[in-house]
Structure 1
């Protein structure tokens, strides 16, 4: 976790406490989307990751989650976990560039801990966020077209 935090602080110029909170929010999002498999392996292999997720859960967002869920449900879009994550990152003060750098650092760390294939599966979970933040998702090997 410290290595990832240091990388995020260096690439985003965020304060370490904000970087840890943002990482926790991303890990919580990933864990909630796919609680088992590669995400769980990534979180298990990164010391301090579970504590970051717990801290992210405990940190209030001033009603942001409920407001976004309410708006998207009203508009017929259902639960909008990705929008909630983006809102949480913005609430922490991250701009689009910092959010993109945070995601890329997280995915790079995932690749180091669980390998390129495992990181590709996590990357594939983030297509809309990646599109909004400029990170290009790569589908897992088994989902790529054969030539």
Structure 2
């Protein structure tokens, strides 16, 4: 976690405490959204990551998240969850460019711990993230057999 935090601070010019909080939110989002165990494996292999996720989970946003989560029970998760993540990063003061660098650095660190195949599964989430927040990603298409519902 310290290595990732250092790289995010260097890439984004964020304060270290803000960078750690932002990383926690991204890891929590990925853990909740990626259906296989690759994110869990990444979190398990990175010392301090579980604590960052727990801190992100414990942070309060005045009930906005609960309201959005209540609405998603009617329309399904995914896009609404992404809006929650983008909102949390914005509340921390991250710009679109900083959010993009944060995600890029997180995925680079993940690749060093769980390999390219694991990161490819995680990246399958990024097309929606790119559309909503401007994050660019390469090789984000999943083969049809990996797409839920196909």
1:3-31 CA distances to partner (integer Å, 9 max, x unpaired)? 00000000000000000000000001011
**Separation in 2 of the partners of 1:64 and 1:15?**
25
Superposition TM-score, scaled by structure 2 size: 0.84
**Separation in 1 of the partners of 2:5 and 2:96?**
18
Contact 2:7 2:105 in 1 (8 A): yes
**Separation in 2 of the partners of 1:105 and 1:84?**
20
| Equivalent residue, structure 2, for 1:50 | 50
Aligned length: 141
| Equivalent residue, structure 2, for 1:16 | 16
C-alpha root-mean-square deviation of aligned residues, in Å? Answer: 2.2
Contact 2:28 2:56 in 1 (8 A): yes
| Equivalent residue, structure 2, for 1:41 | 41
Contact 1:110 1:119 in 2 (8 A): yes
Q: CA deviation at 1:36?
A: 4.3
| Equivalent residue, structure 2, for 1:107 | 107
Larger relative contact order (Cα-Cα within 8 Å, sequence gap ≥ 6): 2
Q: CA deviation at 1:69?
A: 4.3
Task: Mark the runs of 5 or more structure 1 residues left unpaired by the alignment.
Answer: none
Q: CA deviation at 1:118?
A: 0.8
**Separation in 1 of the partners of 2:56 and 2:127?**
22
